[in-house]
């Protein structure tokens, strides 16, 4: 039976940022840049095809990311710049003066005298993305759904015990549900807040350097913003804590006073499947391809990894 789905999974607890360069600095892993830039190039074509097939517009903000820091976090700012020089290439970022900030993001010029601008970054509207994917799957004549089915074992010979059926190909994207088959897989708790702020008109994703965790503000249509994300080594699936909410909202207000009158739309938590190196793993065993461990980089890596997975499936089927 096909029905409207709430889309409340881990993929919804995200700002859906496509940030190959700033995430490279955050992780210290050059492979993040390489894979992320592949996806950055693929996303426009993906979204165009999805919009044509579903009739649903998916906003894709490609105005880049601006990284800023308050004076009291000067040491964080200096470390970030040093890592950028070590890990990135010339042209990946630009130093902005207060005059540059005034010209591009005037609402931030009163609080920040300098910034780093990363042009090859953006954020997409994941709410609209899920609606479009749903519409495409519902319209596909050859798709049979088995929703709410817990698959505890996906065998290399294509057999799924819960369905008592063999399949030509299996793509295993169970996340934490594949823990038994993927040693070292764990959940990392993330929390985000969604607000509507009519008095704020930021055009770009903003990263505010913070000594405890990377903090971002991602614009959405209709004056909405996604703020995140705490990163906690915990698998607790409880609601957002007071501490996390206070830290996120305080940082938000420190960025722009217009957020004081913002309306909180939701506070969300989710567990992100992660491996010890925080990098994804794509493997094949017989008829089964397993993709897991995308951590906080699902939207950043998805198109590139799916292309790799398709190649593995075609090799297996030939």
Q: What is the CATH number of the domain that holds 109?
A: 3.30.9.10
How confident is the model over 126-148, as pLDDT tens digits? Answer: 999 999 999 998 888 888 888 77
What is residue 148's predicted lDDT score, i.e. its pLDDT?
Answer: 79
CA geometry: angle 215, 110, 84, nearest 5 deg = 45
What is residue 11's predicted lDDT score, i.e. its pLDDT?
Answer: 81
In this structure, the answer to whether residues 285 and 175 fall within a common structural domain is yes
Residue 109 belongs to a domain: yes
**Structural domains of the chain, count:** 2
In this structure, the answer to whether residues 80 and 177 fall within a common structural domain is no
C-alpha 155/C-alpha 174 separation (Å) is 13
pTM above 0.85, yes or no: yes
In this structure, the answer to whether residues 115 and 197 fall within a common structural domain is yes
In this structure, the answer to whether residues 171 and 201 fall within a common structural domain is no
Is 70 exceeded by the pLDDT of residue 313?
yes
The answer to which of 31-35, 107-111, 210-214, 228-232 has the lowest mean pLDDT is 210-214
Residue 4 belongs to a domain: no
Model confidence at 318, pLDDT cuts 50, 70, 90, reads: low
How confident is the model over 174-223, as pLDDT tens digits? Answer: 999 999 999 999 999 999 999 999 999 999 999 999 887 778 999 999 99
C-alpha 132/C-alpha 56 separation (Å) is 6
Strand residues in the chain grouped as ranges (E): 17-18, 60-61, 65-68, 94-97, 114-118, 122-124, 159-160, 165-166, 170-172, 186-196, 205-208, 215-220, 224-232, 263-274, 281-285, 288-292
Is 50 exceeded by the pLDDT of residue 13?
yes
End-of-domain residue from the set 274, 289, 304: 274
In this structure, the answer to whether residues 15 and 42 fall within a common structural domain is yes
CB atoms within 10 A of CB 102: 14
Q: Which of 122, 96, 297, 130 is nearest to 218 (CA)?
A: 122
Residue 138 belongs to a domain: no
- Domain assignment of residue 237, given as a range: 10-127+186-274
Residue 5 belongs to a domain: no
Residue 301 belongs to a domain: yes
What is residue 200's predicted lDDT score, i.e. its pLDDT?
Answer: 98
In this structure, the answer to whether residues 90 and 203 fall within a common structural domain is yes
How confident is the model over 250-294, as pLDDT tens digits? Answer: 999 999 999 999 999 999 999 999 999 999 999 999 999 999 999
In this structure, the answer to whether residues 196 and 56 fall within a common structural domain is yes
Residue 47's H or E segment, with its range, is helix 30-54
In this structure, the answer to whether residues 112 and 191 fall within a common structural domain is yes
């Amino acid at each position: 039976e096909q029905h409207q789905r709430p889309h409340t999974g881990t993929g919804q607890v995200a700002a859906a940022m496509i940030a190959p360069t700033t995430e490279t600095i955050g992780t210290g892993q050059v492979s993040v840049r390489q894979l992320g830039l592949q996806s950055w190039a693929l996303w426009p074509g993906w979204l165009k095809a999805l919009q044509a097939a579903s009739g649903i517009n998916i906003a894709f903000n490609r105005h880049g990311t601006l990284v800023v820091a308050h004076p009291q976090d000067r040491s964080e700012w200096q470390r970030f710049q040093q890592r950028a020089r070590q890990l990135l290439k010339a042209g990946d970022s630009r130093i902005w003066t207060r005059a540059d900030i005034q010209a591009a993001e005037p609402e931030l010029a009163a609080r920040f005298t300098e910034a780093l601008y990363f042009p090859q970054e953006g954020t997409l509207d994941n709410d609209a993305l899920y609606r479009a994917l749903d519409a495409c799957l519902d319209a596909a004549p050859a798709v049979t759904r088995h929703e709410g089915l817990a698959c505890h074992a996906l065998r290399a010979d294509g057999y799924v015990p819960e369905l008592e059926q063999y399949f030509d190909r299996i793509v295993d994207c169970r996340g934490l549900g594949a823990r038994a088959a993927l040693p070292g897989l764990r959940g990392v708790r993330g929390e985000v807040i969604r607000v509507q702020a009519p008095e704020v008109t930021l055009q770009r994703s903003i990263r505010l350097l913070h000594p405890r965790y990377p903090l971002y503000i991602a614009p959405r249509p209709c004056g909405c913003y996604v703020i995140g994300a705490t990163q906690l080594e915990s698998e607790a699936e409880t609601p957002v804590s007071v501490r996390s909410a206070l830290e996120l909202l305080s940082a938000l207000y420190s960025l722009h006073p217009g957020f004081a009158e913002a309306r909180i739309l939701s506070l969300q938590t989710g567990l992100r499947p992660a491996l010890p190196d925080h990098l994804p793993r794509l493997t094949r065993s017989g008829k089964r391809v397993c993709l897991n461990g995308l951590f906080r980089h699902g939207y950043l890596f998805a198109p590139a990894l799916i292309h790799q997975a398709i190649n593995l499936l075609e090799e297996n089927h030939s």
